[in-house]
């Protein structure tokens, strides 16, 4: 029996753009890289696969130009966990996918690939050459309580959440959408050099 295929309308995509960008020196989601703001790359990677997009940010006025619904952290100063928690609380779908605003080389084909693993897991995230990517993930909305618990324990490391959910970390290096710089994120100005 063939497994059911998720439709676009069953998936909410979330761009995580709530970081402080202290190492970068300005709001990096707004930084224009190769002709467009970094946040636009994340939006483009999610759009073909998600019926609804949300923008997790603590400066919604700066990102109003995207036209996306913005959500702010319900729990402040928790790092990405705060954005993940708020997104799961706001999402109207059972499946939610996340992309950081600072990953301009991310190929959106990874999202349906990871979503297939939700048949038997509560969350799925990529792994490449043995390295686990913790921010780019697909997760069930019903994991909200576990995210809340991790936040209440004041342990804001994403690996803590993944351990609690028993996330499926899936090796992606053999997939046709993979490239060595796919998960490269922009934290400093020096990180911009990889694209040139």
Q: Is the dihedral of CA 111, 117, 123, 124 positive or negative?
A: negative
Residue 66 near residue 39, CB atoms below 8 Å: yes
Residue-wise DSSP of 63-117: GGGG-PEEE--SSSS-THHHHHHHHHHH--SSEEEEEETT-TT--TTHHHHHHGG
DSSP 8-state secondary structure symbol assigned to residue 29: G
Domains of the chain, residue spans: 8-190
Q: What is the pTM of this model?
A: 0.89
196 residues of the chain, pLDDT tens digit each: 345 567 899 999 999 986 554 455 557 788 888 899 999 999 999 999 999 999 999 888 989 999 999 999 888 888 899 999 999 999 999 999 999 998 999 999 999 999 999 999 999 999 999 999 999 999 999 999 999 999 999 988 999 999 999 999 999 999 999 999 999 887 656 556 655 4
Domain 8-190 has CATH 3.90.550.10: yes
Give the torsion through C-alpha atoms of 67, 71, 76, 77, to 10 deg: -50
Among 80, 97, 94, 98, which residue's Cα sits nearest to residue 142? 94
């Amino acid at each position: 029996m063939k497994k059911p295929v998720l439709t676009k309308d069953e998936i909410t995509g979330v761009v995580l753009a709530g970081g402080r960008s202290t190492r970068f020196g300005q709001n990096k989601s707004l930084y224009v890289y190769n002709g467009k703001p970094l946040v636009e790359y994340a939006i483009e990677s999610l759009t073909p696969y998600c019926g609804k997009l949300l923008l997790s940010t603590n400066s919604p006025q700066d990102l109003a130009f995207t036209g996306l619904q913005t959500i702010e952290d319900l729990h402040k100063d928790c790092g990405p966990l705060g954005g993940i928690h708020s997104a799961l609380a706001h999402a109207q779908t059972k499946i939610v996918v996340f992309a950081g605003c600072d990953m301009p080389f991310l190929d959106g084909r990874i999202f349906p690939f990871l979503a297939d693993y939700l048949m038997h897991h509560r969350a799925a995230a990529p792994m490449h050459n043995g390295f686990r990517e913790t921010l780019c993930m697909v997760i069930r909305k019903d994991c909200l309580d576990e995210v809340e618990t991790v936040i209440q324990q004041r342990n804001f490391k994403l690996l803590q959440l993944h351990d609690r959910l028993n996330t499926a970390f899936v090796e992606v290096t053999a997939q046709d959408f993979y490239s060595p710089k796919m998960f490269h994120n922009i934290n400093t100005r020096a990180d911009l050099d990889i694209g040139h």
